[in-house]
Structure 1
Amino acid sequence: MFSGLAEQLRVREQQGLRRIRQIVDSPQASHVTVGGRDYLAFSSNDYLGLANHPALIQAVCEGAQRYGVGAGASHLVNGHSAAHHQFEEAAAAFTGFPQALLFSTGYMANTGVVTALAGRDDAVFADKLNHASLNDAAMLSRAKFVRYPHLNLVVLEKRLAATQARRKLIISDAVFSMEGDIAPIPQLIALCERYDAMLLLDDAHGFGVLGRQGRGSLHLPPAPAVHSPRVVYMATLGKAAGVFGAFVAAQPDVIETLIQSARSYIYTTATPPSLSHALLTSLQLIGQDEWRRELLAQHIVQLKQGLQALPWKLLPSDTPIQPLLIGASVDAMRVSQVLRERGILVPAIRPPTVPQGTARLRISLSAAHQPQDIARLIDALHELATPS
């Protein structure tokens, strides 16, 4: 058995697919310390620069003083703190839904929603570039798993029209984590109305960044789509919100169904209450600090303009996720490694996370970056692309 595992690992190494953890010695920021060396980092989902914000640090300390460290039990036994409940109410109000439910992670939230809302006699329809957690959730549900080409709503509609499933659930990223593009949310909701389906929208990379006051992808112009009762909205809290966890917002009957049936909610210890206490402050910062989103928008324009002449092309994205398409996994790893040697961290994303032949650098921009940081990355990439 062990020789077989070793051979698999050797092959993975040869194909440039081996993943290696790096130990970060500093707080998350635009500049981090890894292994005793300082780096300029474009590798974090801390889009608003809140992960090390003094107000959140203070709020965590206050929460620990008030609620202790651990929750001690699952939400349905004795672990549902007043801090958890206050955050759920605040998250629902912030996103415009009647109710919200706190989960430990986005992965657990997606698993809980899909398996609670779909089963053997049902069908789940999924964009082919959805996050792995949505795909895994669909397979765990034992519903018929129907995938459609990325953003191809013509094919999705044909498959909706052909199904005889009892219940239909469309699942989609709002902002696709490795592409940076945005799902056509109003059109997805229209299909739900036409074919009596529900929509689970994973807004892990849109919450805090997109929409009015950072309220998420459902609040993008021309008109908010949040009012459809068919939408089940999931947002994570360890990216733009700067803390940890996730929540699901939906109609009361959906939330109550999750409380009663979502196994990833029922059978796990609740998150530390101090984190929910800090998240109340995070919501305030997200709503009031419009300058952070304005600065992000400036960074995106600067990067796009600066990389236009490269042989590698940025994929179409107006979000802080800016994927630079390289092609072969070994080439993407080489570029990432050379940048690292120059003190710049940009992760190489390879199969199976992305399709074969589409390995890329995933450049993540943050409001914590400065224009000179963006310029340094642009200059380094141009030097790498220029034949010596």
Structure 2
Amino acid sequence: MKQKLRFAHLVLQGAKKDNIYRQLRNSKVSGPYITVGTKRMINFCSNDYLGLSVKKNVTSQMQSSSRLVSGNDVSFDTLEKTLARHKSQQRSLVFPTGYMANLGAISAMVGKNDVVLSDELNHASIIEACRLSGARIAIYKHNDVDDLEKKIKANKAKRKFVITEGIFSMDGDFADLKQITEQTEKSGAILILDDAHGDFTVGTDGRGSAHLQGVGKKIDAYISSLSKGLGSFGGYVASEESIVDLCINKARSFIYTSALPSFLVEMSLQRFHQNRSARQKKLASNVARLSSGLKKIGYDIKSTTHIIPIIIGSEKKALEFGKYVYDNGVFAQPIRYPTVAKNSARLRVSVTAWLSDSHIDDALYTFEKAGKKFDIL
């Protein structure tokens, strides 16, 4: 090992000692199952919430250029008009990933003389985007609208942005969008909603968290993912014409990267037009079955969505808990610091429409045994 690179070894040693070391494992997903090596398990770690990721024939040519150069296939226009209508917005813009959509759109909209009020549990991509913008950042307590109001009043910047997730990716709870939109309307703050986990899965026609709470028209800019509820790939922003045009001109993660391959754009269109209502109902049924089952066993479950955290606490115990359920046929990954706060490690259980009642019942049996073994129950 080169001496000057020894720092990496020391960092990894520290991660192992603190039980936050991560490793890649080869796996293959097929419907409700995941196979790691030769071990087949029920998959509770998928973001394909509606179970739409069915292979389609690939006939389109790959793009190899930025959309502003020569990579703007006509399929983008069709998808973007569809997504704009989906969110009742004037226009939308597709990015290669949801992470890149947050980085590009937020840093394009927000400037160094602005202030960003960001929920303390917002996703890492939002945090990085806010830092890139150069704006002053004020963190408000998670879903605490009173704290948000205080921080809005305390900041005198000419432009104020409020940024929140619709469904929070690690706790699985909804943002209180009714009260948040009251604050942004009263103060004139611009509201950006990252609805990656709510889009296509909740609300009428899967229109997302804001529509579910009756405030869809009060969101100034939506940022979302095509790889979760839609089971495809990519991300997008939807807003009024000027905001999307600003992103085209200023979002570096859009300008300086190759276009998303057009076959993935066409895949998103195909999946958007599939009958998603039956799968939404199945997803809701599965969420209710697993959530009520976990509560009956004795777990303290507060989430009402398809993201259900089982809080363990200690990183070490979370790893042991995760290995136990893994060994017993349930795949649910331990989530540890720095993704969540220290000593709030958890199993992040993702519910999908792929799962049958028997899959859920088998998992509940395993979770009950694990809870008793590790003194969680």
**TM-score band, normalised by shorter chain:** over 0.9
Q: Does residue 283 of structure 2 align to residue 296 of structure 1?
A: yes
SS in 1 for 2:27: coil
- In the alignment, is the contact (CA less than 8 A) between 1:312 and 1:326 conserved in 2? no
Task: Report the count of equivalent residues.
Answer: 371
Q: Which amino acid aligns with 1:40?
A: I
1:373 is aligned to 359
| Number of the residue aligned with 1:217 | 209
Deviations 1:300-333 (A, max 9, x none): 221122222546422x111110101111111111
Which segments of structure 1 move beyond 4 Å, counting only runs of 4 or more? 309-312
Q: Does 1:157 align with 2:159?
A: no
Whole-angstrom CA distance in 1 between matches of 2:176 and 2:147: 14
Q: Secondary structure at the match of 1:113?
A: helix
Could you say what secondary structure the match of 2:137 adopts?
strand
1:199 counterpart SS class: strand
Flag structure 2 segments of 5+ consecutive residues without an equivalent: none
Cα separation, 2, equivalents of 1:25 and 1:350:
23
Q: Give the corresponding residue for 1:354.
A: 340
- 1:15 corresponds to which letter in structure 2? D
Counterpart-to-counterpart distance in 2, 1:319 and 1:14: 34
Tell me which of 111, 116, 119 is aligned to 2:108: 116
CA 1:163–1:198: 2 relative to 1, 3 Å = same
**2: CA distance between counterparts of 1:236 and 1:302?**
26
> Equivalents in 2 of 1:36, 1:237: separation in Å?
30
Contact 2:34 2:331 survives alignment (8 Å): no
Paired position in structure 1 for 2:237: 248
Q: 1:31 aligns with which of 33, 36, 48?
A: 33
Distance across 1 between alignment mates of 2:320 and 2:298: 15
Q: Does 1:226 pair with 2:228?
A: no
Specify the code of the residue in structure 1 equivalent to 2:248: I
Kindly, what percent of the aligned residue pairs are identical? 32
For 1:195 and 1:26, how far apart are their aligned partners in 2? 47
Offset at residue 37 of structure 1 (A): 2.1
Give the distance between the partners of 1:309 and 1:124, measured in 2 at CA: 41
Instruction: Give yes or no for contact 2:50–2:276 (8 Å, CA) kept in 1.
Output: no
Equivalent residue number for residue 327 of structure 2: 341
3-state SS in 2 of match to 1:322? strand
Alpha-carbon distance between aligned partners in 1 of 2:93 and 2:7, rounded to the nearest angstrom? 43
TM-aligned CA deviation for residue 75 of structure 1: 1.1
1:269 aligns with 2:258: yes
Cα shift readout 1:342-371 (whole Å, capped 9, x = no counterpart): 121100011111112211111101000001
The residue number in structure 1 matching 2:248 is: 259
Question: 1:256 is matched by which residue type in structure 2?
Answer: D
Partners of 1:167 and 1:386 lie apart in 2 by: 52
Cα RMSD, aligned residues only: 1.5
Residue identity opposite 1:157 in structure 2: E
CA–CA distance in structure 1, aligned partners of residues 298 and 260 of structure 2: 46
Residue 190 (structure 2) pairs with residue 198 (structure 1): yes
Q: Offset at 1:387?
A: 4.8
Which range moves more in the overlay, 208-217 or 298-307? 298-307
Contact 2:161 2:190 in 1 (8 A): yes
Task: Tell me how far apart the structure 1 counterparts of residues 143 and 184 of structure 2 sit (CA, whole Å).
Answer: 15
| In 2, Cα distance between equivalents of 1:247 and 1:383 | 42
Q: How far off is 1:289 after superposition?
A: 2.7
Alignment map for 1:65-214 (pairs within 5 Å)? 65=59, 67-68=60-61, 70-214=62-206
| Code of the aligned partner of 1:92 | A
In the TM superposition, what whole-angstrom CA distance separates every residue of 1:113-159 from its partner, at most 9, and x where no partner exists? Answer: 11111111111110000000000110111100110110011111111
Q: Secondary structure at 2:292's aligned position in 1?
A: helix
CA distance in 1, matches of 2:266, 2:373: 53
| Cα shift at 1:78 | 1.0
Which amino acid is the alignment partner of residue 14 of structure 2? Answer: V
Structure-2 residue corresponding to 1:325 = 311
Q: CA deviation at 1:385?
A: 2.5
Determine the C-alpha separation between the residues in 1 that align with 2:247 and 2:372. 54
Structure 1: how far apart are the matches of 2:135 and 2:292? 45
TM-score by length of 2: 0.95
Q: For the Cα contact (< 8 Å) 1:189–1:231, is it kept in 2?
A: no
The answer to whether the 8 Å contact 1:97/1:226 transfers is no
State the partner residue of 1:12: 15
Quote the Cα distance in structure 2 between the aligned partners of 1:216 and 1:121: 31
Give 3-state SS (helix, strand or coil) of 2:317's partner: helix
Letter in 2 for 1:119: G
2:376 equivalent to 1:384: no
